[in-house]
Structure 1
Amino acid sequence: MEDVAAVQRESAVVFAKASEEPGTLFVQACHSLEEGALGDADLAAARLRATAPGRPEVAVLSALIAQRRQKPERNWQDAFLRAWNDAGRPNLRESSLLPAEEPSDDGETSVGLAWARAKKADTRLVAALAEGALEEEQQRWLAANLMDVTDPVLLRAAFEYFRGDALLPGVRAEALAVLRPRLQQLADAAPQEMQTPLLLLLAQSSPDAPVTTGELQELERIASLSDYRATPLVRMHAEAEWLLQSVGVARPQASAFSAVVSELALTGPHLLSKRAGVTGDKLSAAERERLGRALWAIGERVAEESTLVEHMVGLRLMKQGAEMLKEPERLTQVTAAIQEGQQMIGVAPALQVARWPIPSLQQAWLAATLENEWAHLRAFVAPLKHGE
């Protein structure tokens, strides 16, 4: 019995010491904050300030606790924004207190195993988009079953996926031969959407090829269309999440977001930008002006979309258009917007939100990203006004 008692005393000492470790205290405070136990969160934060003085993560945490106490009804993302501002907008990229980000899958619930569980082509396609690589047999199966994929978003994503260099050339050719006429049907069925016709026009071209006079006429037609992408990002994510959840993927929200990024289908704008950049004097002065106006108009539609990457791709097309048109006011306007976007690109790494062990914050961040990532991140770049 004495040995047992000694072990218990030793364990108690070890636990007490561990509970004073800054990393442990930080997680404890975050868990208490998530549960609404603000008193416990305050105690852990106070111990943190004593054991890890001057740490920026602790300053943000303390400010976040204060925000939750002052206005518990406030959205977590908004509370975090205000806490980060109150703490002096620190860069947490090198934080040793924030726990390491958890892997996106684990063992029996990984995205990779979703392939074995899935029976339908759309589910397997989403799993491939989320994870990236497919083995030879999987590539062949997916290429042979593309007729079963009906969602327009997934068809565009499949077209881009099977253009990838990592796929077997024979499989790639087989898949694209099936997908191209189906994409043409999509374009015919949605005559005001730019995304599909732009992809069809440019996907088989070399990025080093100048824009031709014939292509210019089609680009002008595409530039007159009203929308770039018709399907809201929230819906794209919800559908991908449902498919992955149906086959037991762990943390399907994160995997679904990876799939949705692949579903954005930005090959068309990317190729247009590359090819416009090498066109030079291959077109007449009048044709270059027409191309500049098409670039600006298409870029405007792309930049109206909600994601940061789409916004930046669109702005760069607009910049090329303004340069071709030699219109300094437009160029000044779009250059300032690009600079603002570049600031936004650095926000997420500075905040390290994915490493904060607060599920409610994670949920709010994802929801804000899906709703309008540009507006969401812009709030972290712009200074808060007094009284906000």
Structure 2
Amino acid sequence: MNRTAPGVAGGPACSTRAGAAGMRVPTPRGDARPMTPPLPSSDNAPTPRRRGKLLWGGAGVGVAVLAGGLFLWSPRPPSPGSTPRDTHDAHGASHADHTHEAPKAKSQAPMEVLVQTDRAARAAATGQRAQAHEALAAALKLAPQHAPALLVKACLALEEGQDTEASDALRRLEAAAPGAPEAKLLARLSELRRTPGMDWQQAFRQAWVDLGQPDLQQSELLPGAAPLPPDPAIAAAAKAAWERAASDDVRLMLALGSPRLDADKALFLLRQVPRLEDPSLFVAVMDVLRGEALPQSSHDEARTVFRQKLEALAAANPRAMQIQLLLLLGDTEPGSEMSAAEIDRLEQVAALPVWREGVFTRTYEEARKLLEGSGVPDVSATAMAVAAHSVTDRGSWVLRTRNVGTRGSLSPEGRKRLGRITRDIGTRMAEQPTMVERVVGLQLVRGGAQEMGDEAGREQALARIEALEGAVTLFRKASMDRWPLHALTEALIQASTRDEPAYLLSFTRVEANQAAETQQP
């Protein structure tokens, strides 16, 4: 199953990918520069962006759990054969760097069995049960003991409450893959689902912990273990959804959530910019149109359109740091020295009460509402990709680079002042419920505290970053993005969109509680 973006970032987890370290986008000034730049891993200097790895070698947006804009915002693995755009996480890597690299297992099953199993898994993951059963029947008719197909069969039976069929599928799976942790996890999940008040993601997490937190990143039973050619049905469904879209609002969401953006869709997005009143959607369109999506002949128009709309949105949203910072620094040269006037204006931005006006959950829910009934292959993943693009931020990165270019010319007091400004901006950004904003904000806080000589503040920010990174590492072991359980995905989206970092940290707390219980006399 190649379900696609996040995100730990991603929750939301989000995402579209492309490993395009050299992608450029026309900016209002007229020169081309990276639209989504790398973030420094040190306190002072940016580091080169790592080239992202495509999840499952594939395409599409992720299931809404990290693989994005966020770590969790890429729950659905990519569709086979696709080449998604890159959405960068808090460390400057694509979201695919936050997700595991799918194992490149060499299956002994015939290609038709692999293809039908993949179709079944993707359909199961997206709640299309009839299609899942049809593809699964075709796979098992050709290979009755194909373990990955039996895993999908067990997952479908569990979701449908077919206990007898689930038990039979798990028995056959155990026979086909003796001792497989995937089968044991599903059996334990089936037991825990009978616990009143325990939803799918809670039951799954507890089952995984009860089994000793097995590392499933290299699983050959979960979907995505074998590289597959593109499934033409996915492209056909996406094309049909675009052609029969009921309104430009629907097309806007389809284009923003598309794993591939052709010139026609790029020009369509550019035409929508003047009417955008939501800063989140404006930021999303800017992110999607980075690179070479627009024809060269449209670059001058794009610079004008984006600048005019940015000025209008800044005037309409005077309390939000994100849009004001983008207006102040987004079109300036990264790494250049700041003028005294810019620092004064930056200090005013740092005093604003909120990072951004838009709410991530609302962006996701509105996108999903518009996409319902559109025929897009994966509504929740496409909506999550839209939301993930909406938190991509250039202004904070330019601030980091220009801090580096400015600090050498400042007096000790001037450096402390700039550090305080940076810390205050980072503090507001770190209040957001996405991994990408939380970690970037904490990086700003850490750098600002260092400039201020506040070692305790710097250490505290660093400890919070390391705790989040540890939670991501632990979360990845469960490979939640590869399980063909639609109910699990939906429960995970609900939990992660509320507060993605908190959700990830909850994995660490479960581990700590489990350790404490085993140490009790």
C-alpha separation in 2, matches of 1:209 and 1:250:
45
Query: What's the CA shift string for 1:100-159, capped at 9, x where partnerless?
Result: 39989714321x554444475544333332226544444444434432333332123234
Match of 1:338 among 456, 465, 475: 465
- Match for 2:212: what amino acid? G
Residue 277 of structure 2: aligned partner: 150
C-alpha separation in 2, matches of 1:244 and 1:252:
6
Change (3 A) 1:115 1:31: closer
Change (3 A) 1:374 1:33: same
Number of residue equivalences: 374
Q: Kindly indicate whether residue 168 of structure 2 is the aligned counterpart of residue 168 of structure 1.
A: no
Gaps of 5+ in 2: 1-138
Residue 31 of structure 1, CA deviation? 1.6
Residue 95 of structure 1: aligned partner: 219
Q: Kindly indicate whether residue 157 of structure 2 is the aligned counterpart of residue 32 of structure 1.
A: yes
Match of 1:274 among 393, 401, 411: 401
C-alpha separation in 1, matches of 2:343 and 2:214:
48
Gaps of 5+ in 1: 1-13
The structure whose RCO (Cα within 8 Å, separation 6+) is larger is 2
Match of 1:84 among 190, 201, 208: 208
Bigger shift: residues 23-32 or 112-121: 112-121
TM-score in terms of structure 1 length:
0.86
Secondary structure at the aligned position of 1:150 is classed as coil
Please tell me whether the aligned partners of residues 143 and 171 of structure 1 are also in contact (alpha carbons under 8 angstroms).
no
Secondary structure at the aligned position of 1:198 is classed as helix
Please tell me whether the aligned partners of residues 314 and 323 of structure 2 are also in contact (alpha carbons under 8 angstroms).
yes
C-alpha separation in 2, matches of 1:385 and 1:159:
43
Where does 1:130-141 land on structure 2 (aligned, <5 Å)? 130-131=257-258, 133-141=260-268
C-alpha separation in 1, matches of 2:244 and 2:409:
53
Residue 127 of structure 1: aligned partner: 254
Query: What's the CA shift string for 1:257-308, capped at 9, x where partnerless?
Result: 1121111131111221222233331222212111111111111111111111
Where does 1:43-122 land on structure 2 (aligned, <5 Å)? 43-69=168-194, 71-100=195-224, 106-110=234-238, 112-118=239-245, 120-122=247-249
Secondary structure at the aligned position of 2:337 is classed as coil
Secondary structure at the aligned position of 1:231 is classed as coil
Secondary structure at the aligned position of 1:248 is classed as coil
Higher helix share: 1
Q: Kindly indicate whether residue 413 of structure 2 is the aligned counterpart of residue 286 of structure 1.
A: yes
Bigger shift: residues 79-88 or 211-220: 211-220
Q: Kindly indicate whether residue 344 of structure 2 is the aligned counterpart of residue 217 of structure 1.
A: yes
Residue 86 of structure 1, CA deviation? 0.7
Please tell me whether the aligned partners of residues 57 and 97 of structure 1 are also in contact (alpha carbons under 8 angstroms).
yes
Q: Kindly indicate whether residue 237 of structure 2 is the aligned counterpart of residue 237 of structure 1.
A: no
C-alpha separation in 1, matches of 2:359 and 2:373:
22
Residue 433 of structure 2: aligned partner: 306
Query: What's the CA shift string for 1:70-98, capped at 9, x where partnerless?
Result: x0431111111111111111221111111
C-alpha separation in 1, matches of 2:268 and 2:256:
15
Secondary structure at the aligned position of 2:513 is classed as coil
Residue 90 of structure 2: aligned partner: none
Q: Kindly indicate whether residue 304 of structure 2 is the aligned counterpart of residue 180 of structure 1.
A: no
Query: What's the CA shift string for 1:343-363, capped at 9, x where partnerless?
Result: 233345422223212111011
Change (3 A) 1:170 1:223: farther
Bigger shift: residues 128-137 or 27-36: 128-137
Asked which structure has the greater CA Rg, the reply is 1
Residue 237 of structure 1, CA deviation? 0.8
Change (3 A) 1:119 1:204: farther
Please tell me whether the aligned partners of residues 163 and 172 of structure 1 are also in contact (alpha carbons under 8 angstroms).
no
Please tell me whether the aligned partners of residues 144 and 175 of structure 1 are also in contact (alpha carbons under 8 angstroms).
no
Secondary structure at the aligned position of 1:265 is classed as coil
Residue 160 of structure 1, CA deviation? 4.0
Bigger shift: residues 48-57 or 318-327: 48-57
